[in-house]
């Protein structure tokens, strides 16, 4: 399965070395007209896992090409990545923090490169800007707002705070902290450290549901407004468990209550996980089944994960044989009332989550304050 999925990601990668889009991984097979930075970030993680599992460094080489492309298209005006690109041209009016944070996490997991630190630092500055109350508005809760959007040729900041944005941003800022230490930029490292801690404090205080009488006790609000009030609290999706999936050192992470909540709210009796409890509650999804399984595997709730992974394998949504374009791999995004989405609707981030879930889980953690400073930093410090 790992090789099939990693090769599917490679089949989605644009390999025309004469183009500035060289290395871009399209969301589905075809020219890079539908490039989503955060999903490139997850695809990079999948390729790195495949290289380690299969002992094949060619997957790392292709992941590095994707990272080089992402560095090229970063918006130099503020350090962000747009939500979507056509080759190298932005075609979206938004800049979600996850686009930036997931790319930063991928860079970190590939390993430190001095020439890539400039991009990491700029991305961290964008996340800091989204955290600034003067930009996001409302109370100073330590959380990032939902990024930027363009209106009437002007860039504005979203004021709502999302559990997913902040969970990814926490690890991205810890990654930037680590790389700043390697570059001997200790003041900036401290800035990132404080910002990450403020995110964690905000998640614990404003997003975690700690009321035992609340039916969502033990998970997190998916979204709150600028004054800390829940937005659509009865709407449930994967974002409600993002801190658990992403291994945050947050209150509630590691509690069996999280996995039970996922099972009760988003898992069907056949094992499939649905997209949400709203309009898409009949959409059984391999991707969300894999994401939930990452939580259940960490929580040792293997009956839930085994049921979900068993459903994905039986669902018929895995393209195990070549499709009409001669390409195998990838997972059709969903099936509703027995009718699957089109065969070509297979996203690269789902391939990463499949590799991770079928291989026992994934550790999203980057740098923590208990890690030892690498020897390379010690030598650099002594040389200075």
pLDDT in tens, 100-120: 999 999 999 999 999 999 999
Helices (H) and strands (E) in the chain, counts: 14, 10
User: What is the predicted pLDDT for the residue at 307?
Assistant: 98
3-state class of 95 per DSSP? Answer: strand
Task: Give the integer Cα–Cα distance in Å for 106 and 274.
Answer: 27
User: What is the predicted pLDDT for the residue at 350?
Assistant: 98
Banded model confidence at residue 368, pLDDT cuts 50, 70, 90: confident
3-state class of 318 per DSSP? Answer: strand
And the tokens for 320? 């195990």
And the tokens for 59? 């997957």
Phi-psi region of 310 (alpha: psi -120 to 50; beta: other; left: phi over 0): alpha
User: What is the predicted pLDDT for the residue at 370?
Assistant: 63
User: What is the predicted pLDDT for the residue at 367?
Assistant: 87
Banded model confidence at residue 383, pLDDT cuts 50, 70, 90: very low
* Residues 83 and 101 sit within 8 Å (Cβ to Cβ): no
Give me the percent of the chain exceeding a pLDDT of 70: 96
- φ, ψ for residue 351 (rounded to 5)? -65, -40
- Outline where 238-301 has alpha helix (H): 242-245, 256-266, 286-298
Q: pLDDT tens across 278-317, in order?
A: 999 999 999 999 999 999 999 999 999 999 999 999 999 9
Task: Give the integer Cα–Cα distance in Å for 191 and 137.
Answer: 20
Task: Give the integer Cα–Cα distance in Å for 121 and 180.
Answer: 8
Average pLDDT, the chain: 95
Banded model confidence at residue 318, pLDDT cuts 50, 70, 90: very high
Residue 381 has pLDDT above 70, yes or no: no
Of 86, 85, 112, 81, nearest to 97 (Cα)? Answer: 81
* Residues 23 and 69 sit within 8 Å (Cβ to Cβ): yes
| 238: Cα within 13 Å, side-chain hemisphere | 21
Residue 230 has pLDDT above 50, yes or no: yes
* Residues 145 and 161 sit within 8 Å (Cβ to Cβ): yes
Q: What is the pTM of this model?
A: 0.95
Q: pLDDT tens across 16-51, in order?
A: 999 999 999 999 999 999 999 999 999 999 999 999
Banded model confidence at residue 375, pLDDT cuts 50, 70, 90: very low
Q: Which distant-in-sequence residues (6+ apart) come within 8 Å of 197 by Cβ?
A: none
User: What is the predicted pLDDT for the residue at 371?
Assistant: 59
Q: What is the mean pLDDT of residues 310-339?
A: 97
Q: What is the mean pLDDT of residues 315-321?
A: 97
């Amino acid at each position: 399965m790992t090789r099939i999925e990693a090769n599917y990601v490679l089949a989605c990668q644009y390999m025309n070395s004469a183009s500035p889009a060289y290395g871009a991984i399209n969301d589905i097979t075809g020219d890079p007209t539908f490039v989503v930075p955060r999903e490139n970030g997850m695809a990079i993680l999948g390729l790195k896992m495949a290289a380690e599992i299969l002992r094949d460094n060619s997957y790392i080489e292709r992941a590095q090409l994707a990272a080089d492309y992402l560095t090229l298209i970063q918006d130099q005006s503020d350090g962000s990545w747009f939500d979507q690109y056509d080759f190298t041209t932005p075609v979206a009016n938004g800049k979600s923090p996850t686009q930036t944070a997931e790319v930063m996490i991928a860079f970190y997991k590939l390993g430190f490169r001095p020439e890539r630190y400039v991009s990491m630092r700029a991305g961290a500055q964008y996340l800091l800007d989204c955290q600034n109350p003067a930009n996001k508005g409302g109370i100073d809760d330590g959380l990032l707002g939902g990024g930027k959007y363009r209106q009437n040729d002007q860039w504005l900041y979203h004021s709502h705070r999302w559990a997913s944005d902040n969970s990814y941003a926490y690890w991205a800022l810890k990654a930037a902290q680590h790389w700043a230490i390697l570059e001997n930029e200790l003041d900036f490292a401290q800035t990132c450290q404080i910002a990450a801690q403020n995110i964690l404090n905000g998640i614990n205080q404003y997003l975690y549901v700690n009321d035992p009488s609340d039916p969502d006790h033990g998970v997190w609000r998916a979204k709150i407004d600028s004054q800390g009030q829940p937005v659509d609290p009865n709407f449930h999706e994967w974002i409600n468990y993002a801190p658990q999936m992403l291994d945050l050192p947050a209150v509630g992470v590691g509690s069996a209550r999280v996995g039970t909540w996922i099972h009760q709210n988003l898992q069907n009796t056949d094992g499939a996980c649905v997209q949400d409890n709203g309009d898409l509650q009949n959409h059984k999804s391999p991707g969300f089944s894999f994401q939930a399984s990452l939580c259940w595997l960490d929580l040792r709730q293997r009956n839930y994960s085994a049921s979900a992974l068993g459903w994905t394998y039986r669902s018929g949504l895995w393209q195990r044989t070549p499709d009409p374009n001669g390409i195998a791999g990838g997972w059709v995004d969903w099936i509703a009332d027995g009718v699957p989405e089109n065969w070509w609707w297979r996203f690269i981030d789902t391939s990463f989550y499949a590799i991770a879930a079928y291989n026992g889980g994934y550790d999203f953690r980057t740098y923590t304050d208990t890690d030892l400073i690498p020897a390379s930093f010690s030598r650099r410090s002594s040389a200075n």
